[in-house]
Structure 1
């Protein structure tokens, strides 16, 4: 069975991006991401309502890193520490050598290739450093932008679950994409 260790925290670079640890200094951007109905449209989680909720979200991210059960990075452009988005591994299954990747980005940075660049780098990290065998992504079937990113990064549609999650009074479909270690 895999054992994950995120200590020291891995800072990751791409051509344009620096993926770094999220801190309490990012509270305004985390609030902006998690309180925006547009960025949260396909994420069945409650909107954060204030900075205390955003700080609680950052604390939850930290707790998962500290206990090695999940990891999130803040997405920034090199030379600018402003948080543009969040990307990471969730629902890690060390017994199956599998983890779920997820990401979100402030709307003003959509369509600039930032997420595919970050996803491709985290795929390499997942397979080479974490020793994963497979990476999955769970998306809303209506989230065409995310579907395009996953397909561009080599993910294949694995399943479409009908009305498999109950959230805020309605049943939601979910689609699973996956990528096997090449």
Structure 2
């Protein structure tokens, strides 16, 4: 089984990005992400309706990081510390050397390759430093941009589950992509 310890939080750098631990200074950007119906339409979670909700979400995530249950980075440009998105590992299964990756990006930064760059950086960390064997991503089948980003990062579509999740009064499909540490 993997030993996971995020007490010394890892900052990651890619060609254009710096991935750092989010803090309460990022609450406005977190609210912008989680309150945007276009961003949240592919994420079966409630849309944030206030800064206080975003702040509570931040505190919950920070506690989970401190308890080594998840790791989540703020995505920033190297020349600007303002958060433009988030990326991290959720539903970690250390006994199986596996984790799920998830990410969100503010609309002004879509289509510039930042998500692909961040995915590659986080996957490299997961395989080389954490010792993961596999990383999976669960996405809405209509989220074509996310599917393309995962495929650019050599993730493979493994499954399409029909109506496997019930949210907001309807059954939703889920597509699972994965990447193995070769």
Matched with 1:143 is 143
Matched with 2:110 is 110
- Provide, for residues 112-161 of structure 1, a one-character-per-residue CA deviation record: whole Å limited to 9, x for no partner: 00000000011110001110000000000000000000000000011111
Matched with 1:130 is 130
Matched with 2:178 is 178
Deviation at 1:7, TM superposition (A): 1.6
Matched with 1:34 is 34
1:104 alignment partner, SS class: strand
2:65 corresponds to 1:47: no
Gap regions ≥5 residues in structure 2? none
Matched with 1:169 is 169
Deviation at 1:79, TM superposition (A): 1.9
Aligned residue pairs total 182
Deviation at 1:60, TM superposition (A): 1.3
- Provide, for residues 34-56 of structure 1, a one-character-per-residue CA deviation record: whole Å limited to 9, x for no partner: 00001111000001110110001
Alignment of structure 1 residues 71-82 onto 2, 5 Å: 71-82=71-82
> CA–CA distance in 1 between the matches of 2:168 and 2:134?
31
1:176 alignment partner, SS class: strand
> CA–CA distance in 2 between the matches of 1:164 and 1:36?
25
**Structure 1 runs of 4+ off > 3 angstroms?**
none
> CA–CA distance in 2 between the matches of 1:11 and 1:96?
25
2:81 corresponds to 1:96: no
Deviation at 1:61, TM superposition (A): 1.2
